[in-house]
Amino acid sequence: MFQYILKRIIEMIPLLLVISILSFLFIHMIPGDPARLVAGKDATLEDVNRVSIELGLDQPIWKQYISFMGNLFQGDLGTSLKTGLPVSTMFADRFMPSVYLTLLSMGWAVVIGLIIGTLSAVFKNKWPDHLGMVTAVSGISLPGFWLGLILIQIFSVQLGWFPTGGSEGWKSYVLPSITLGAGIMSMLARFTRSSLLETLKADFIRTGRAKGLKESSVLTKHALRNSLIPVVTIAGLQFGFLLGGSVVVETVFSFPGMGRLLIDSIAFRDYPVIQSALLLFSVEFILVNLIVDILYSTLNPKIQYES
Amino acid sequence: MRKVNSWKMLFFALVCSILLVGCSDEKSANSEKGQTGKEKEIVIAVNENFISMDPHNTGDTNSNSVQSAMLEGLLGFDKDGKIIPVLAEEYSVSEDALEFTFKLNQGIKFHDGEDFNAEAVKTNVERIMNDESLRLNSRGFNLITSIDILGDYEIKITIEKPYGAMLTRFGSAKMISPKLIKENSSDIPKSPVGTGPFKFVEWVQGDHLTIERFDDYWKKGERVKKITYKPVPENGSRVAMLKTGEASVIYPLPAQNLEELEANKDVVVSKIPSTIARYVSINTMKEPFNDVRVRQAFNYAVDKDAFINVVNSGFGLPLDSIIPSKTIYYAKQDVYEQNIEKAKELLKEAGFENGFTAEIWGNTNSDTMKGMQFIQQQLKEIGVTVEIKSMEEGTLSDEIYGAQTPEDSKLQMWYVSWSAYASDITNATKPLFHSESFPPNGSNTAYYNNAEVDEWMDAANSTGDTSKQAELYEKIQSAVYKDSPWIFLGVDELLYGSRSDIEGIYVETGGGINVNDANFK
Amino acid sequence: MEFTSTVREKKHVVPKKKYSPVREFWVNFRRQKTAFFASMFILLLIIIAFVGPSIAPYDPYQPDYDATLQGPSSEHVLGTDEYGRDIFSRILVGTRITLSVSMSSVLIGAVVGTVLGIMSGYFGGWLDRIIMRSSDVMFAFPDLLLAIAIVAILGPGLNNVIIAVSVFSVPSFARLVRSSTLEAKENTFVEAAKSMGAPHKRIMFKHIFPETVSGLIVFVTMRIGGAIIAASSLSFLGLGASPETPDWGAMLSMGRDYLGTASHVVMMPGIAIFLTVLAFNLIGDGLRDVLDPKTKNE
């Protein structure tokens, strides 16, 4: 297992190099000239050209790439074209809030999703199933900004329990994490249910029952564990998505996360920020996937990884 | 055994996340403690993130707004955007508009204890002139040929050729501590040091920026201890913050919520006319728009009042010149009142009795998309079919400024807005109507080319004589308005809301938030 | 809402004549009352998608500036929007756009993703690594960035929205199918088929694919809802249909500024989206119970 992990981590390096080249080419392919956007609407051509030289945008693209990577290896993510601030400074204040929000949203979504999914499967076609599935189905049918705005109306404006936004104190995390987790909770509940229903019909469960094992122990010891594989896949995917920040939730709750920074930077063609953010997301994603793959083999010993 | 592990891991992750959030909570709880005392804090919610705190490198209103609480210039602007002396006690301009002499106020200190004097001014002006990384504010300052210190508190600045907007440039170029410039200039965009009524405390990227009262400010007055600015882009969330009292002031206030907020006793809503002109520029070099009758027909086809009602929820004024009414030298023109018959007649005369198809471009803001739909509906009345092409800002700018010559341009109509300092008519006209300003060299996206108008603009720019300028700009406005290079739509009104226990905070005509006398009642 | 899939009174309908998988499916599916009801709703929507423009009481594009933002009345059943256009007519006409964009984009994504996922899981090795790592790369690229790039390269328009949304779904489908494939691969009947020398293609599509179907169906139905919402955010970003088009998502996003003051402008398309997404999900649940041999009621 340890060797496997090590191998995967070593595999990351060429992958990240490829990603960095691809994303570099990719973001430069999108039409739009940051020099023009920095210089402003009333700029003359002379102004724009001056800005272009100052920002190093007049250099050939491979030179820009090499200087970006050169700085990266020295731990320097570069300077934002738009703000003139170091990219690392801009990330520093946003990264941890994004991580906390992700963990909280995933945390409650996984716990509640598993509980609802399991209850629904166990009480298939009885009222807990129906109630659970109505909750779950409603959760994914609501657009995020809609849910967020309604939560603000109820819990901030009417009841005054939670602030409308920001990232100060645990209270300001409550509404965003509910909004962000609702869809995931619903997905997980549905996947748990369907996957559990499948496993409950499987041979080894029947055998277990036939051997006279207690129903609760059949459920927790055998069925649930085996049905967790697709659930872990979905949870891992969502986790990776969330780390990239959510523009909608960050916008509605004025939350200082990575999503809005990336959107603003794309709009401004702020190459160093986009480039660094993409690399950061890639690293996060690969790590999350690695964890998911390890969980697979923990959950189902039948799945082996070559080491 | 394995199963227990996976559950443990999950539980562990959950506990960790709660602990982490809990920790971060404690930190901020400490910093919040000051709130409850007598020395309260005012929160101001604005719609966008701040970009930079370097006053010599700032193009956006929100950053400017925050800076103006901390930093001051030689000159400044009053409520209506007129130029007033600030750090300068008085100023004079030579007749040929080349020499600017400033007599400085004495006894002013920067937040770091440095003296404000002629030497400090020189350090600042030189920074703007020479520092290549200052991309935005060097305009005008790159014309400076000499800086002469006439005394400890008197300085003369000479430029090589007349530049109409020079006084405005002195107003927007705010002074930073010379010590900061010399010793730590890389900190300027993050934490500036100036002479203003408030000093910088902290800026948490994307979350808030806090400033604190500067007790040695040279103008005495009652001020609140602390002000925190928060970027809150979602309209609904900003309104909610004002209602709950989380924010004491919100700007802009969405017009749709006006009625609802006016009924609220804890909230005061204010509105002021802005210097933001909304219009559709028409490419006057492209057929069929090269016919002035077609462009006039477009203007007659549009109901300006309906525009303000539908697109701006009832707030705004008709654009009755080529510049907003708050701009200096503004002269009102005869508005093209909606007249479908006349519009159709003009089209018929131009040979387009059966109309034609045209394309309108705009960015992807919801207001722009609303406005473009409105234009589409109005022009349909005179038989012109408009196709809307909304493009993401960067793509759009590439399409517009990527054209190297007028012939290259694919632009037909562009739904856009323009704003300039009220005191800066040069910037409100030259980039838009001078034939030197065709893209990519400026924003004359109408490709408006009128030799006479060019000449008048040049003449107005090279004189310091204000009555002559007024006369020239009157002629320019009348000529351009008749030529209809735009569909003239409206001038925005700015709306902002404050809690009723707040005083001394107001929004200026340029969109800046003035907090110089901010306090609780 | 009732969930009465246990109701048996229609059992006598079961025909004894001739065995047909289609008929068996139909009979079983009708037992799933909720899903059946939901599919009737979708069927209704599909009919509306075809006839909507001809039954709409008003021209969905015609503004009336004297009647803006009016609440529901006998004249305008669902009220009017910020231009005074009839919201009911716009929803009717918009059904076609909304349905076709979401359904086609998910189907394209599902087909491509499934093929990649099965191959990846079945063959493993370097192919698996390449497919999975490229899907990692795709995931690492935020949706919006992809969308902007796709639209910038291909130009704006509805077809490109479909492409953009289907591109987002490919990696999710691939990963999902891969993980079910990994499991199915271990099954004895797959081993048996292998040892009997069945060709890969046959094993993949005959033996493994059916094992992935139940997860796939649930995910497709979820993604259709998700695609409606994704397409709406694209419309809102100006990357979709032009703004006068009565696409539900665009109506919802454009109207959200009026939430506090004229909430019906955003309520009505919101409810339409909610019901449609709900219906797709309920159908998905029902289909799974019917189709999947493992969870089928004996």
Each residue's pLDDT tens digit, B486-512: 999 999 999 999 999 999 999 988 888
Mean pLDDT computed over every residue of chain B: 87
Is residue C83 within 8 A of residue B377, CB to CB? The reply is yes
Burial bucket for residue B30 (CB in 10 Å: 0-12, 13-18, 19+): exposed
Q: What is the mean pLDDT of chain C?
A: 80
Q: Do B390 and C257 touch (CB under 8 A)?
A: no
Q: Does A281 touch chain C (CB under 8 A)?
A: yes
Check residue B124 and give its pLDDT. Answer: 93
Contact at 8 Å (CB) between B275 and B326? yes
**Would you state the pLDDT for residue B36?**
34
Determine whether B287 is exposed, middle or buried from the number of CB atoms within 10 Å of its CB (0-12, 13-18, 19+).
Answer: exposed
pLDDT digits (tens, 9 = 90+) for A205-219: 777 777 777 777 777
* Residues of chain A neighbouring B54 (CB-CB closer than 8 A): 84
Residue C6 pLDDT > 50 = no
Rounded to an integer, the average pLDDT of B24-28 is 40
| Residue B248, pLDDT above cutoff 90 | yes
Chain A environment of C288 (Cβ under 8 Å): 194
Alpha-carbon distance C199 to B406, whole Å?
A: 64
pLDDT tops 90 at residue C288: no
What pLDDT is recorded for position A301? 64
Residue B484, SS3 per DSSP? coil
Mean pLDDT of A165-188: 85
Whole-number Å distance between alpha carbons of C234 and C184: 37
Q: Is B151 on the interface with A (CB under 8 A)?
A: no
For residue A270, the tally of other CB atoms under 10 A from its CB is: 26
- Looking at beta carbons, which residues of chain C come within 8 Å of B260? 260-261
Report chain C residues whose CB lies below 8 A from the CB of B369.
238, 243, 254
- Taking CA atoms, B247 is separated from B227, B500, B512, B515, C5, in Å, by 11, 12, 17, 14, 52
Which chain B residues are Cβ-neighbours of C244 within 8 angstroms? 373, 376, 388
Count CB neighbours of B281 within 10 A. 24
Q: d(Cα B508, Cα B349) in Å, to the nearest integer?
A: 45
| Average confidence score pLDDT of chain A | 82
Non-local CB neighbours of B408 within 8 Å, separated by 6+ positions: B402
Percentage of chain A exceeding pLDDT 90: 5
Query: Does the structure show a pLDDT above 70 at B293?
Result: yes
| pLDDT higher than 90, residue B327 | yes
Tokens (6 digits) for A179 = 């909004």
d(CA B109, CA B118): 13
Whole-number Å distance between alpha carbons of B39 and B227: 11
Mean predicted confidence (pLDDT) in A239-243: 80
Query: Average of pLDDT values for B10-17?
Result: 50
B51 touches chain A (CB under 8 A): yes
Q: Is the confidence at residue B82, as pLDDT, over 50?
A: yes
pLDDT digits (tens, 9 = 90+) for C214-239: 778 777 877 887 788 777 777 766 67
Q: Which of A19, A137, A247 sits opposite C278 (nearest CB)?
A: A137
Nearest to C93 by CA among C108, C78, C107: C78
pLDDT at A247 over 80: no
Instruction: Choose the CATH number for B43-48+192-267+496-520 among 3.40.50.720, 3.40.190.10, 3.90.226.10, 3.30.70.890.
Output: 3.40.190.10
Closest CA to B505 of B261, B227, B310: B227
Identify the sign of the CA torsion B320, B323, B326, B331: negative
Average pLDDT value for residue range B346-360: 94
Cβ <8 Å between B51 and A51: no
Residue of B nearest to C157 (CA): B389
pLDDT band at C210 (very low <50, low <70, confident <90, very high): confident
Which chains have 3 or more CB–CB distances shorter than 8 Å to chain A? Answer: B, C
B207, B141 contact by CB (below 8 A)? no
Q: How far apart are CA A54 and CA A48, in angstroms?
A: 10
Q: How many CB pairs under 8 A join A and B?
A: 189
Report the pLDDT averaged over residues C244-265: 80
C161 contacts C231 by C-beta, under 8 angstroms: yes
| CA-based torsion, B353, B357, B361, B364: positive or negative | positive
Which residues of chain B lie closer than 8 angstroms to C152, CB-CB? 392, 395
Contact A68, B36 (CB under 8 A): no
Lowest mean pLDDT among A41-45, A173-177, B272-276, C289-293: C289-293
Report the pLDDT value the prediction gives residue B35, as an integer from 0 to 100. 34
C222 to chain A nearest CA, in Å?
Answer: 8
Structural domain boundaries of chain C? 37-55+81-295
Which chain B residue's Cα is nearest to A110?
B10
Shortest CA gap B452–chain C (Å): 40
Residues 6+ apart with CB under 8 A from B435: B444, B448, B449, B450, B451, B454
Choose among A30, A137, A142: nearest Cβ to C149: A30
Q: Do B388 and C244 touch (CB under 8 A)?
A: yes
pLDDT digits (tens, 9 = 90+) for A52-76: 888 888 888 888 899 888 888 888 8
- Highest mean pLDDT among A224-238, B6-20, B206-220, B250-264 belongs to B206-220
Instruction: Give the three-state DSSP class for B287.
Output: coil
Q: Which residues of B touch A32 (CB under 8 A)?
A: 392-395, 397-398
By C-alpha distance, the chain C residue nearest A130 is C3
Half-sphere exposure of residue A276, counting CA atoms within 13 Å on the CB side? Answer: 25
Half-sphere exposure of B426 (CA within 13 A, CB side): 18
Q: Name the CATH superfamily housing domain C37-55+81-295.
A: MetI-like (1.10.3720.10)
Contacts of A268 in chain B (CB under 8 A): 394
Distance from C69 to chain B by nearest Cα, in Å?
10
Structure tokens at A99: 């991580």
Q: Given the DSSP bridges, would you call strands B519-520 and B502-503 parallel, antiparallel or unpaired?
A: antiparallel
Query: Token pair 């009621």 is at which residue?
Result: C297
B325: DSSP letter: T
> Is residue B113 classed as helix, strand or coil in its secondary structure?
coil
B428 neighbors B321 (Cβ within 8 angstroms): no
Closest CA in chain C for residue A25: C149
Calculate the alpha carbon distances from B152 to A237, B76, B100, B126, B221 in Å: 66, 21, 16, 17, 27
C-beta separation of A121 from A197 below 8 A: yes
Decide if pLDDT at B237 tops 90: no
Residue A185 has pLDDT above 80, yes or no: yes
Residue B137 is predicted with a pLDDT of: 59
Find out whether A85 and B190 touch, Cβ atoms under 8 Å. Answer: yes
B427 touches A at CB < 8 Å: yes
B296 pLDDT band (50/70/90 cuts)?
very high
Q: Is the pLDDT of residue A105 over 60?
A: yes
Report CB contact under 8 Å: B205, A107: no
CATH top-level class of B273-493: alpha beta
Nearest to C139 among A26, A143, A240 (CB): A240
Residues B269, B414 contacting (CB under 8 angstroms): no
pLDDT of residue B30: 37
A264 shares contact with chain C (CB less than 8 Å): no
Range 77-116 of A in CB contact (< 8 A) with B? 82-85, 89-90, 92-94, 96-97, 99-100, 103-104, 107, 110-111
Predicted local distance difference test score (pLDDT) of residue A231? 79
Q: Of all residues in chain B, what percent carry a pLDDT higher than 70?
A: 91
- What is the number of CB-based contacts under 8 A between chain A and chain C? 136
Q: Under 8 Å CB-to-CB from C267, ≥6 apart: which residues?
A: none
Distance to chain C for A172, nearest Cα, Å? 22
CB-CB: which of C182, C222, C256 is closest to A145? Answer: C256
pLDDT in tens, B108-154: 999 999 999 999 999 999 998 887 666 555 678 888 999 999 999 99
| Alpha-carbon gap: A152 to the closest alpha carbon of chain B (Å) | 7
- Rounded-to-integer distance, Cα B237 and Cα B244, Å: 10
DSSP-assigned letters across all residues of A189-249: HHHHHHHHHHHHTSHHHHHHHHTT--HHHIIIIIIHHHHHHHHHHHHHHHHHHHHT--HHH
**pLDDT band at residue B364 under the 50/70/90 scheme:** confident
∠ CA B313-B318-B322, rounded to 5°: 135
Residue C291 binned pLDDT confidence (cut-offs 50, 70, 90): low
Q: How far is C256 from chain B (nearest CA, A)?
A: 9
Q: Is the bond preceding C199 in cis, omega lying within 30 degrees of 0? A: no
Q: What pLDDT score does C87 carry?
A: 94
Task: Return the half-sphere exposure (C-beta side, CA atoms, 13 A cut-off) of residue B494.
Answer: 25
A233 touches chain C (CB under 8 A): yes
Average pLDDT, integer, range A80-98? 86
CB contact under 8 A, C260 and B306: no
Average pLDDT over residues B431-456: 93
Round to whole Å and give the CA distance between B179 and B110. 10
- Residues in A closer than 8 angstroms to B49, CB to CB, are 260, 264
pLDDT number for residue B308: 92
Residue pair B388/B362 in contact (Cβ under 8 Å)? The answer is: yes
Query: Of C163, C141, C160, whose CA–CA distance to C240 is shortest?
Result: C160
Q: Which of B256, B306, B390 sits opposite C260 (nearest CB)?
A: B256
Closest CA–CA distance from residue A260 to any residue of chain B (Å): 9
3-state secondary structure B372-417: HHHHHHHHHCCCCEEEEEECCHHHHHHHHHCCCCCCCCCCCEEEEE
Q: Cβ separation of B260 and C260 shorter than 8 Å?
A: yes
- B370/C156 touch (CB, cutoff 8 Å), yes or no: no
What whole-number distance in Å separates Cα of residue B340 and Cα of residue B295? 13
The two structure tokens encoding residue C25: 């499916």
Chain B residues interacting with chain C (CB cutoff of 8 angstroms)? 235-236, 239, 254, 256-257, 259-260, 303, 306, 309-310, 363-364, 366, 369-370, 372-374, 376-377, 387-392, 395
Sequence spans of domains, chain B: 43-48+192-267+496-520, 72-182, 273-493
More confident residue, B84 or B465: B84
User: Measured in whole angstroms, how far is the alpha carbon of residue B475 from the centre of its chain?
Assistant: 27
Domain covering B72-182 in this structure, CATH number:
3.90.76.10
Asked if B133 has any chain A CB less than 8 Å from its own CB, the reply is yes
What residues of C are in contact with residue B239 (Cβ under 8 Å)?
Answer: 260
**Which residues of chain B does A93 touch, with a Cβ-Cβ cutoff of 8 Å?**
204-207
CA A11 to chain centroid, in Å, comes to: 22
Query: Does the CB of B254 have a partner CB in chain A at under 8 Å?
Result: no
Give Cα separations from C219 to C42, C183, C227, C290 (angstroms). 18, 18, 12, 16
DSSP state of A81: T
Q: What is the rounded average pLDDT of the residues A155-174?
A: 82
Which of B303, B377, B387 best tests the C interface by mutation, with the highest count of C CBs <10 A?
A: B377
Given a cut of 70, is residue A243 above it in pLDDT? Answer: yes
Over 80: is that where the pLDDT of A142 sits? no
B440–A45 C-beta distance less than 8 A: yes
Residues in chain C within 8 Å Cβ distance of B307:
none
Number of helices followed by number of strands (H, E) in chain B: 15, 21
